[in-house]
Amino acid sequence: MLNVSAKKVSDAKAKSQTLVLFAHKSGATSTIPGLNKTELGKVHEITGKELEFDDLKKGLFLRGHNLNGYTNLALIAVSPSKDDSFSEGFRKLGALVLQLGLANKQESMAIDLESLCKGQKKLDEVCQALTEGLCLADYRYDEFITKDKKKNSVRPENIVLVHSTKMNSKTITEGIRSGSILAECVNFSRGLGDAPGNIITPVALANETVKAARGTGLKVTVWDKARIKKEKMGGLFGVNLGGGPDCRFIIMEYNGAGKSKKPVAFVGKGLTFDSGGISIKPSQGMEEMKYDMCGGANVIGTLLAIAKLKLKVNVIGLVPSTENMPGPMANKPGDILVARNGKSVEVFNTDAEGRLILMDALSYASEKKPRVIFDAATLTGAVVVALGNSYTGVFTRDKKLMKDIQDAADKSGEWVWPMPINDHHVADMKGTHADLCNISSFKGAGSSTAAAFLEQFVDKDIPWAHFDIAGTAWHIGGRVNYSPKKGASGVMIRTFVELAKKFG
């Protein structure tokens, strides 16, 4: 993992290969606070022309000129997009620095905070977001890429945030700590998502969670198939009948506050491979269904981050995990399953399996009487049609909760969009020979009817919101530079951590 630290200017000089300075637009001209007139003149000599602000938007790397005592110099324009929140601009700058380091094979870089902040007051937020951007952009899943290729790539290992004595070093270090922990947990979760189905089975997902939780204060309990049956989790057990490895139910608990404080509950869909079952999916694009456990992986990442940040909150994380396969014992269309809370469900389409495993997990969450329940799931293709791969669809009838979610997402630099859920959607999910059916009796609004189905397993007096991350859990790299172009994004972990702070 990339090491980010802080140093005063006097201690840092020339210990890194590259100095990174930032340019700001002031009126028609641009200024680079870290360079005096003579130095700026030198830069102009090197580039052979006056520096245009726009030339620096993607970053300019000047090699081997020993300016300011560093071998190399990188210049970057600060020009946040209007669509981005305050912190998001700095997150993207962090990613840009890392990408310049990667492209130019730099092992150590020093970022001049003074030139970045230019009088900016929210130093903690700046340092946290910058660190997140640096570490998130450093993510790669190359476990199976043969060694030689890996060895040849020199990459940034140490990044120092250089600051003046006027800047509060404790604030800076705190920002770096929070940013590093969050990014580390997002990257861990991305790794689980990118790992193929033959590596991350339900058993492996549970084992990885137990391993990662060691020493963090997070308690992990894992229920095996026999226990799941005994606990009347008819949905999780039923989906697992299709074959493949045994199912697991992962329970994570973290107590950072007093015993009397109600916990915040997070529930995530951990479907390690979704073939569709008997209602089998078309083969084209089926490989993407290894990502069907991203809701679960992101809940695991959230709980790890909360524990490592030592937040003063109580939280529980629940991940039902199985494959959805079409073996001889698999659910057949028309089969009836009974959930933990006693409600019965007709399975008309075995590919609508996410809701079947979540119904048991949400019932279990309700029994714990939490302060609030949030769930994340790659639940419907319909949300991808509605919102594409930029916004996560959020479903809740609680307007105040929606506002809190929106605020938390804005703060985290993540995009959420409120989606409808009402009694009509509930009515559409009524069964004929069971209480409910797992697909709607009408066409359209597939994400809303799925959410309405889930709602039937949450206690009426517990605030609840469902996050459909089918469009945002992977493949969002074209939109943010700190996420891989192809691969798991770790979406909503940062928002969930903010929500835990708010409700804890």
Active site residues: 281, 355
Question: Exposure of 422 by Cβ count < 10 A (0-12 exposed, 13-18 middle, 19+ buried)?
Answer: exposed
SS3 441: coil
Helices (H), 161-319: 169-194, 202-213, 225-230, 234-240, 294-308
DSSP letter string, 9-41: HHHHTTSSSEEEEEEEEETTEEE-TT--HHHHH
Smallest Cα–Cα separation from 393: which of 408, 407, 376, 410?
A: 376
Measured on CA atoms in the order 457, 458, 460, 464, is the torsion positive or negative?
Answer: negative
Smallest gap from Cβ 440 to ligand BES, in A, equals 7
Closest CB 165 distance from ligand BES, rounded Å: 51
- Interface residues toward Zn ion, by CB under 5 A: 271, 274, 292, 351, 353-354
| Minimum CB distance to ligand BES smaller for 309 or for 379 | 379
From Zn ion, ligand BES, none, which one binds at residue 106 (CB under 5 to 8 Å depending on kind)? none
Q: Between 26 and 442, whose beta carbon lies closer to ligand BES?
A: 442
Question: What is the DSSP code (8-state) at residue 488?
Answer: B
CB 290 within 8 A of CB 276: no
Binding site for ligand BES (CB under 6 A): 274, 292, 349, 351-354, 378-382, 384, 439, 446, 470
Q: What's the closest the beta carbon of residue 316 comes to ligand BES, in angstroms?
A: 24
Contact partner, 382, from Zn ion, ligand BES, none, Cβ < 5-8 Å per class: ligand BES
> Which CB sits closer to ligand BES, 202 or 354?
354
Kindly state the smallest distance separating residue 323's Cβ from ligand BES, in Å: 12
> Number of helices (H) and strands (E), helices first, in the chain?
17, 19
Nearer to ligand BES, 112 or 414 (CB): 414
Q: What are phi and psi of 44, to 5 degrees?
A: -60, -40
380 binds, among ligand BES, Zn ion, none (CB under 5 to 8 A by kind): ligand BES
Q: How far is the CB of 374 from Zn ion (least distance, A)?
A: 19
CA pair distance 32, 25, nearest whole angstrom:
9
Q: Which does 428 bind (CB under 5 to 8 A by kind): ligand BES, Zn ion, none?
A: none
DSSP-H helix ranges across 282-380: 294-308, 354-367
d(CA 268, CA 429): 22
In the complex, minimum distance from the CB of residue 15 to ligand BES, in angstroms, rounded to a whole number: 46
Categorise residue 310: left if φ over 0, alpha if ψ from -120 to 50, beta otherwise.
left
346, interface contact from Zn ion, ligand BES, none, CB < 5-8 Å by kind:
none
Q: For residues 235 and 337, is the Cβ–Cβ distance under 8 A?
A: yes
- Cβ closest to ligand BES, residue 117 vs residue 347: 347
SS3 (DSSP) at 63: coil
86/348 with CB nearer Zn ion: 348
CB-based contact 415:476 (threshold 8 Å): no
Using CB distances below 5 to 8 A depending on partner kind, what does residue 349 bind out of Zn ion, ligand BES, none? ligand BES
The encoded tokens of residue 47 equal 């580039």
Min dist. Cβ of residue 292 to Zn ion (A):
4
Nearer to ligand BES, 112 or 274 (CB): 274
**In a 10 Å sphere around its CB, with 0-12 CB exposed, 13-18 middle and 19+ buried, how is residue 169 labelled?**
middle
